[in-house]
Chains A and B, each alone.
Chain A
Amino acid sequence: MTLTANLASRLAEVIGAHNVVSAPEELAAHAVDALVPQMIARPTSAEQVTEIVRFALSEKLAVQAFGSRSKCEMGMPPARYDIAIDMTHLREVAHYDAGDLTLSVDAGTPLRELATFLERHGQFLPLAVPCFESTTAGGAVASGIDSALRQQYGPVRDFLIGAEFVDGTGQQCRSGGRVVKNVTGYDFHKVLIGSLSTLGVITRVNFRTFPLPAASGACLAAFANWQQALTFRGAIAMKGLPLAGLEILGPSAAEILGAILQRTDANAAGLLPADEWCAYCSYEGNEPVVARIGAELKQSAKDAEARECISLQKSADEPLGGMLREAYEWLRWASPATVLHRIALPQLTPDVLGELEQFAISANLRSALLIRAAGVLYFAVFAETEGEAAWSALAEVVGKVNKLARANRGYSSILHAPAAVKTRVAAARIALPDAPLQQRLKQAFDPANVFAPGRIVGGI
């Protein structure tokens, strides 16, 4: 018996043979940045998750928890990775109080299932994240990926009210609760957001839910240049128009998405004009509110010299809005080797946009820009081929983007990059400004480094 087979059989003794997988093809499918685990554990309860973590601790193995694995390539390459924990078999709604608008679900519950469940009660969870059809509630939290509804409902930290998780000592812990207002104890559930499961394995998440809006609307405005598009964005902010979603696509992003819609949906085909900046706005409320916001957006677009601003019928809005939610997906797969940056700046200026585009041009690479809610910028850089030259060029752009973000008192992270590019970036040893404090947090949660280390920038 090989060492790996021996380990797998011992884990099987702990959680049952049918819950441990070591078939090579399945292991390969669970690779993270080309690192293949030795086994996959499929727990069916939180107790089994603790057993797996304790087993890993005793064997000095590194674990990485996943939901649907749709965002497993976020983060830096793990330094070690032995056991993949597949959380998709924990998928029960543990608690739902429709009258209190609170929900507690197992981490592996798919968001699509939750949406269907909540819709029956006239409610929803504003977690409009990419790969929506497969993403799990725990995965959405652990990835911290942007929600397309953030403009109105805020990031997930604004409506995650509690969590249960297994920490790095193999203990089940909890934070927060099931009430909408609570300051009892340290807010550990907040640090789990975007932690990529490096602090603990999330087993359950508690949310505040929201009533489905009575009416909704959407419009799409086209601008000749970014100055006009940013003027439009500024006018929306100044007027305080309550938008549910706001996405501004640069011409390249519009072209990529336009081509996808052309292939996939007749109702949305041809919506996105070539060579223009497109602003998509969605809004909700009662009928009079929706009518008024639509009218005000049209006026603001006109004031900003939009070439056109059209109201979208539901048949066109659903595919277009749906695909904008999926921006992470279609941007990262738009070339053989893509780096997708997420840049958060206190202020978005035309200069910054110009410099970013210039970084790509000077490296002889294509790029695409997408300005998202709360001023978060997605900047994708595309290499047409894989290989050393492409990876070096991409890594060089990453370095420049980081510098630019910091010079503008902001921060850039990588949502997606080929493993070879990530390795180069990791070698540059970019440290977070508060890295020592973050390191202490990791050490407290996971003293033995059992949760795949290295995935947070700076080697945490």
Chain B
Amino acid sequence: MPARRVSHYSGEVSPQLTPANASLIRELKRLLGPTNVLDQSEDLILYEYDGSVEKGRPDLVVFPHTTAEVSQIVKISNKYGLPVVGRGAGTGLSGGAVARSGGVMIVFARMNNILEIDIANRRAVVQPGVVNLDITRAVEHAGLYYAPDPSSSKSCTIGGNVAENSGGPHTLAYGVTANHIAALELVLPDGEIARIGTLHGDPAGYDMCGLFVGSEGTLALVTEITVKLSRAAEAVKTILAVFETIDDACEAVVEITAKGITPAACEMVDGWTLCVIEDYIHAGFPRDSGAVLLLEVEGPREAVEGQASAIDEVCARCRSREVRVAKDDRERDLLWKGRKNAFGAMGRLAPSNYVLDGVIPRSKLPQALNRIRELAKQYGFQIGNIFHAGDGNLHPLVLYDPRDQQQFEKAITVAENIIRMCVELGGALTGEHGVGMEKNELMPLLFSDADFALMRRVHDAYNPDSSLNPGKVFPLSKGCGEIRIRKVKESGARV
């Protein structure tokens, strides 16, 4: 007797184990061994959230070691009518790995083997639980690396990266995860094991990897990934350009883009955020600037020299106070450490922070940051800006206290306004964090009923019962929605 049948998810389902699940637990423990199944609430509570502000407790957490086990877990879960949610390291920022309607959470942390490395052909075959940076560590001796580098690259897994089509600072030059995936092994919602893509990387027939990468775990579970490896650049220069005002820094980014200068990374940090980071990391960032740009140029020595001097010229024209080039690897690493640990540094200032993710055309950067400034003033918030300026990927960071109901409400309103602004400026809801359960209600801002009808048909072609990661990506309510966490707060589910 199914404990809970999930079909075309249309609302919240409160997680609740029924007596029928006792035999499910027995079956899973028999399959995986007792140490690979968690069913006690004190254990499950650790898996009820990811890096976002969302929560949803799974009924069970399981740790498979093989694709065959994943397939069996899915079949058993189906038998009991429980939804299945895949999870890597849980560093995602849109609730993609949160068990919104309970069910069985498959944590891939123990499927973390690098199965094959082909240096000559620049390919690696890895399990989904392999940590992003570990791929680079395994191949760097041969002058290769895995290009997409999310800020969480030391902890996030490649499986999670594939689900969310993750980005990072260097995706400006090298593209997001989808550009670096050749083939995938999948477990479909009925437990069937399938392969898509080719070892070469070019699709045979339709570009199935193009569809499944970034589908946020709503079409299939990924159990093996063939990644493309890149050759490390001959020369790298990391440049810190310091500006008196954000406007000047924005102008520099717009000009760098328009002039066709192509840095590998172009990150902006505003002056206030910079002070917070400096207090935490001591990277040598100035404490009295309006904003800095952290730029990286890579390639042949001559190209790097040319690009660095072109950037220097643009920054000077945009009234930069100082343009500093990292002297050595140590200094370079320190600058990047400051950038990548910024969100952690914020934890010292407020009980919680809300990292937004929106995209705008790069030419609209000054307008967007002005508007964010106005909104911060209007609602009385400190909003930090530390983001991928080179590809227009904003990450405004709203500091708030979730225990203060009024402040919480205002934080969500600010967030919504910022995302709506991105759309109004010709941008998109998310550049790299995914839609998940954070922005699914905002999807109608970009997509029509016809778009959703097609998305639904494609979803149902692979996941007809919505048994896989239900309640994600698609809006659940009619009409133009709102950021979901407001609802959660109202329903009292979120603390």
Contacts and interface: CB of A to CB of B under 8 A. Distances in A.
A97 B206 contact: no
B206 A195 contact: yes
Interface in A206-221: 210-212
Interface string A415-436: 0000000000000000011111
Interface residues of B, number: 87
A182 B300 contact: no
A286 B258 CA distance: 17
Contacts of B118: 346-347
Contact of B451 (A173, A180, A191): A173
A194 interface: yes
Given A171-B450, A292-B302, A411 B200 contact: yes
A434 B167 CA distance: 27
A352 to B, nearest CB: 13
A437 B393 contact: no
Contacts of B194: 434, 436-437
A344 B201 CA distance: 8
A444 B453 CA distance: 10
Given A411-B200, A444-B460, A179 B454 contact: no
A186 B455 contact: yes
A437 B202 CA distance: 17
A458 B205 CA distance: 9
B225 to A, nearest CB: 15
Contacts of B50: none
A145 to B, nearest CB: 12
B123 interface: yes
B95 interface: no
B303 interface: yes
Interface stretch (B374-382, B424-432, B478-486): B424-432
Nearest to A195: B206
A448 B301 CA distance: 56
A84 B363 CA distance: 40
A127 to B, nearest CB: 16
Interface stretch (B9-17, B82-90, B207-215): B207-215
A242 B232 CA distance: 12
A409 B198 CA distance: 8
Chain A CB within 10 A, most for which of B123, B201, B458: B458
Contact of B461 (A100, A237, A242, A443): A443
B42 interface: no
Given A183-B431, A346-B118, A433 B204 contact: yes
Interface in A168-198: 169, 171-175, 177-188, 190-191, 193-195
Given A181-B167, A181-B432, A240 B234 contact: yes
A157 B303 contact: no
Contact of B211 (A180, A288, A441): A441
A204 to B, nearest CB: 14
Given A191-B211, A199-B206, A432-B204, A184 B302 contact: no
B120 interface: yes
Nearest to B357: A183
B210 A190 contact: yes
B234 A167 contact: no
A105 interface: no
Interface string A225-257: 000000000000100101000000000000000
A246 to B, nearest CB: 15
A99 interface: yes
A184 B301 CA distance: 37
Interface string B257-268: 111111000000
Interface string B195-232: 11011111111111011011100000000000000011
A202 to B, nearest CB: 14
Given A97-B363, A240-B234, A186 B202 contact: no
Nearest to B431: A181
A187 B447 contact: no
A131 to B, nearest CB: 20
B462 interface: yes
Contact of A187 (B178, B202, B231): B178
Contacts of B277: none
Interface in A110-153: 122-123
A212 B262 CA distance: 12
B55 interface: no
Nearest to A434: B196
B392 A185 contact: no
A452 interface: no
B165 interface: yes
Interface in B450-469: 450-451, 453-455, 457-462
A395 B134 CA distance: 46
B299 interface: yes
A190 B205 CA distance: 12
Most central of B254, B258, B363, B429 by chain A CB within 10 Å? B258
A308 interface: no
Contact of B205 (A99, A174, A289, A460): A460
Given A167-B454, A186-B458, A181 B200 contact: no
A37 to B, nearest CB: 24
B204 A184 contact: no
Given A437-B196, A437-B208, A292 B300 contact: yes
B434 A191 contact: no
Nearest to A210: B260
A172 B449 CA distance: 10
Given A179-B431, A210-B260, A410-B199, 15 more contacts: A157-B179, A172-B450, A175-B451, A177-B359, A177-B428, A178-B426, A179-B360, A184-B435, A240-B232, A374-B201, A374-B202, A434-B196, A434-B205, A434-B208, A443-B461
8 contacts: A99-B258, A154-B179, A179-B428, A184-B446, A191-B208, A285-B300, A437-B208, A447-B457
Interface of A: 97-102, 122-123, 154-155, 157-158, 167, 169, 171-175, 177-188, 190-191, 193-195, 199, 210-212, 237, 240, 242, 285-286, 288-289, 292-293, 344-347, 374-376, 409-411, 413, 432-438, 440-445, 447, 456-458, 460
Closest 10 CB pairs of A and B: A211-B260, A190-B210, A99-B363, A171-B450, A288-B302, A344-B200, A346-B199, A100-B361, A440-B461, A444-B457
